[in-house]
Structures are given as C-alpha cells and as structure tokens.
Amino acid sequence: MKVLVVSLILLHVSQHALTVQMEVYEGVESVLLPCKVSFVLEDTTVMWDRYDLSPKNVHRWFEGRDELEDQNPRYRGRTATDGAEPGDLSLTLRTPQVSDSGNYTCTIRKLRDELRLRDVELNVKGQFPAWAMVLLVLLTVGLVAGGGSAVYLWHYFTTVSKVEVDAGADSVLLPFKTIPNLPKEATVGWRRLGLKSTTVHMYQNSRDRPGKHNVYLERSEMRKDLLETGDLSLNLKNPKDRDSGLYVCTVSMDRRVLDRKLLRLQVRVPHVEVVEGAKSVVLPYKTAVQPPHDVVVEWSHNEPWPMIVHVYQSGSNYTEKQNWLYRNRTEMKEDRLQNKDLSLILKDPNLFDSGTYVCTVSKDGHVVKKKNVRLHVKDTHQVPDEKNYTGERSSSTPLMADPSHVSVNSMSQDFLD
C-alpha cells in the first residue's frame, strides 16, 4: 500500500515543478544548480537532464554513486553532486560556457515513476558582452572617444588571446576549441572587426561559405568535422601585414549565441631603420633551408606605385626589368642561395625609399614564398648631431651610417618546407 501511495504522489507532483532562473558570466569556476527536497525515497535515481540535447543526460546519481555511462559528452568531467546533506540534489557545473545556457530539469525516479522537482533556467553570458562589441565598433569609427568606456574596452583588448606570425608565412591558425557535438543547425562565423565588420569565413547548413571579400577570398579554411570535434579554428593562408587586427568567431543557432571567441592577430614585418646618407642598408631575408638553384628571387616596392627593385635569376643579378629609380643601387651576392641568404643590399638610401618591400620566391612560374620587409629612412635633420655611426664627428654630413650598424628590429629565419 505504501508503494502505491508514493506512486500516486510522484505522478501528481511531477506536473508542478518549480522554475529558478540563474545568470552567470563565462569564466567563473563553477555554478550551482539548486535542487533540494525534504525527503529522498530509497532506491531512487536522481537525474539532471537538458531535453533540447541528445543525449539529454547531464548527470545521473544513484545512492551516492554517479552513473555517467550515457552522459552527454559536452558535460564529461564537468558535473558533480555534493549530497552532503539529506535531500540536497543540487548539481555543480564546472567552467560554465555560453553553450551551457538552457533549461535543466532535476528529477527523481523510483521504478517507473518520476517526480519532476525543479527546472533551472541557466543563462551563461560571454566574457565579451554585446554592448561592449557595439561600443568597440563605435570607437573604431570615431563616434565615441575617451572616457570610462574606452578604458573598460581596453581591458578586453589586453586580455584577449593574441596570435603572432611573420608576414610571408604559409598560414596562421586562429585557435578556437569549444565543446564537441555541436548542433547540426549551428552556424559558425569568423569576422574581422574594423571600420566595417568583414566576414572572413562562414560555416552554415553543413557547408563552408568563405568570405566574399577580395582580401580573404580563397585564403580561409576550417575543419570539415568542426561541429563534431568542437574545433572551430580558422586557418588563414598567406598572412599579410594588413591582416593584423581583431577577429571574432561566433557560434549561433536560431538567433541565439552559443559561444564566442575574440582574439587579436599580429602579423609581424621585419623593420629596418637607416639614416639618409648612409652608404647602404640591408633588407634581411635569411632562410632555414637552401632554396633550389632554379628559383627566381624578385624584390619589389609598391610605394608610391608598383616597381621591380631587383631580380636574381640563374645564379646572377638580372636588371632588365628593374625600375630606373633603383638602377645601379641594388645588389645580391652571387652565393646568396648557397648561403641561404636572400637579403637585398640597397645603396644610397633616401627618404623616398621608405616603405614596404616584398621578396617573392618563385619556381616554374609558381610563387613558393613571400617575405615583407619595412624600411624607414630617417631624415638627417631629425637626428641629433652627435657622433656618426663610425664613432667620429662629421663636418659636412651630420650622419653617415655604416651598413653594419643599421638598426634591424626583427629578422625572420623561415623559408621553404
């Protein structure tokens, strides 16, 4: 008779579960989903479920033991029940993420009867709030200036993940790993923030939709099994100096954000400084592997218009295509390939030589490698009239730089694989 009475109570009360709303920001260590009762029947199973998932099982607990064989993989290793006090069926969810937002149901089961005790509506907010994203764009276009908002946003800029790569590398990976087994209906979008937010890559309806913008066309790539693995990283090919900036990846479904990642990409360009009037300056490019003997090495300068600065081909300098502005002012040693050194010597640098130089290595008409080097030629009038680079004072020319003393802020050591 007692079992029959309990059974009737379970069926009746299950229709009146209480709902609790909870809100937490992503990044906290854990969140407690409350569920307490005044009694616990013997031989009962405690169940925490999310009915919008498959499998729905978030956590199972039976007589002090966890039963996690059919637990949803996204919660693996992130759930626990205390059970220190009788009737305390609360669930601890570690490292809550935006994708954990949803309705959690606490239920106890005895034999075939279930008692739905508590519904917890959990809302996990991302670390980069939507209003901050809006202010970021406004600040970028100059509509908002200074003040506390700028200071608050600067906190985000300095704490977001940073990825660095040398200009001319084959590719760079923008990492983003979230929980596996994302819904098939989810949309994953990578965008670059700036004066105008630009779509870099989109994954929607189980298909890749690369950005149509010319800058990223055919340069972006994502894993084919990204929803299953939760690896939403973006592979950006041939990173350029202009690719530096803020990128955001958003996972959404039915206009609801499931997860978001913000990071900053910095494409490094070797920077060389020299004073106008120096005898020469070296634009460095040293390789890790000796390039084949039949490659063509071309140095170019695109400011103020595209110009060919120097061509090295078939083991010798080739000057027929060279722009007249650089005639008799450039040199590459004949043993450059053997010494793994494709650096360019530019003689008599002047102010108009300042800008970005590109070294393109090609074989059989196909580009194998590219490298950017930025040159800054300083005006002699902007430099203090102290000792020249050779350690002596000059009576006529304020500063005459020795090439061995040219300031090189960074030098790449990469090349062909």
pLDDT tens-digit map of 172-215: 999 998 888 888 899 999 998 875 678 899 999 888 887 666 77
Calpha distance 9→84 (Å, rounded): 26
Tell me which fold the domain 160-268 belongs to: Immunoglobulin-like (2.60.40)
The pLDDT, as a whole number, for residue 269 is: 80
What is the structure's pLDDT at 300? 93
Q: Which are the contacts of 283, defined by CB distance < 8 A and separation ≥ 6?
A: 272, 299, 343, 344, 345, 346, 357, 359, 373, 375
List the domain boundaries for the chain.
Answer: 2-125, 160-268, 271-408
Order of strands, edge to edge, in the sheet holding 171-174? 171-174, 234-237, 220-222
Q: Which of 9, 15, 69 is nearest to 38 (CA)?
A: 9
Could you confirm whether domain 271-408 is CATH 3.30.70.270?
no
pLDDT of res. 104: 93
**Can 2-125 and 160-268 be said to share one CATH topology?**
yes
The three-state secondary structure class of 148 is helix
CA dihedral 110, 113, 115, 116 (to 10 degrees): 120
The predicted pLDDT at position 173 comes to: 94
Return d(Cα 300, Cα 259) in angstroms, integer.
Answer: 43
User: What's the pLDDT score for residue 329?
Assistant: 92
- Per-residue pLDDT tens digits for 351-388: 888 888 988 888 888 888 888 888 999 887 655 544 44
Q: How many helices (H) and strands (E) does the chain have?
A: 4, 28
Distance CA 309, CA 346 (A): 9
**Cis before 55? omega within 30:** yes
CATH architecture group of domain 2-125? Sandwich (2.60)
H-helix or E-strand containing 272?
Answer: strand 271-275
Residues in the chain where the model's pLDDT stays below 70: 1-18, 38-41, 82-84, 127-159, 195-196, 211-213, 336-337, 381-417
